[in-house]
Amino acid sequence: MIELVVYGAEVLCPSCVNLPSSKETYEWLEAAIGRKYPNQPFQITYVDIYQPPNDEKKQAFAERVIEEDMFYPVVVLEDEVVGEGNPKLKTIYAAMERHGYKTSE
C-alpha cells in the first residue's frame, strides 16, 4: 500500500489565488483516486506545513516546502513529488500505476 501525502496550508499560496485550497485538493484527490482504483488500498494524508505532525520525515518535507517556496499543495507519492500548486490527476495516476495500481476502466 502506498502513501500519498498532501502538504499545504490554510492560507492559499500567493500564486494559487484562484485554485482550490490545499484541504479541498486533498479531499478531491482522495475521492478521485478511490474511484479510479477501487478495492486497491492506499493511504492519503494531509500535512499542514505550518503545523506538521510529530513525524521527522513529514516535518522535514514541510520545512522544505516553506524554505524552497514551493507552490502548495505539494503532492508526494512514496518520496516523489507528483504535483505542485495545481496537481494533475493524470500525473498522479501515472505514478500510482508505476507502483502497481490498475485502473478499473
| 103 belongs to a structural domain | no
pLDDT in tens, 59-97: 999 999 999 989 899 999 999 999 998 899 999 999 999
| 80 belongs to a structural domain | yes
| 105 belongs to a structural domain | no
Burial 42-59 (b: 16+ CB within 10 A, else e): bebebbebeebeeeeebe
Residue 82 phi, psi dihedral angles, 5° rounding: -115, 0
Interhelix angle 89-98/22-36, rounded to 10 degrees, is 50
| 62 belongs to a structural domain | yes
| 43 belongs to a structural domain | yes
What total number of domains does the chain contain?
1
**Residue range of the domain that includes 39:** 2-98
- CATH number of the domain at 43, please: 3.40.30.30
| 35 belongs to a structural domain | yes
| 10 belongs to a structural domain | yes
Record the pTM.
0.92
Residues for the chain: how many in total? 105
